Amino acid sequence: MMYLIIEETQYEHSDNTYHIEDCTNDYNKAIDMLQGYKLINKREDRTYSILKYESPLLLTKEMEC
């Protein structure tokens, strides 16, 4: 399991952009990083959030029915 810190920049006349700012496998560290990014953020058009990411499972021949 991986936790991604996502930065969203909001624009008035175009679509918002998203950027992976940081990542970790530790949930508590992800919470700490998110709080840090929110604390140092000086721009009103930028927000930060956490996204839980899990790699997709790949089927192998042994797994097929």
Q: How confident is the model over 12-63, as pLDDT tens digits?
A: 999 999 999 999 999 999 999 999 999 999 999 999 999 999 988 777 776 5
Domain map (residue ranges) of the chain: 2-49
What pTM, to 2 d.p., does this model score? 0.79
3-state secondary structure 1-62: CEEEEEEEECCCCCCCEEEEEEEECCHHHHHHHHHHHHHHCCCCCEEEEEEEECCCCCCCHH
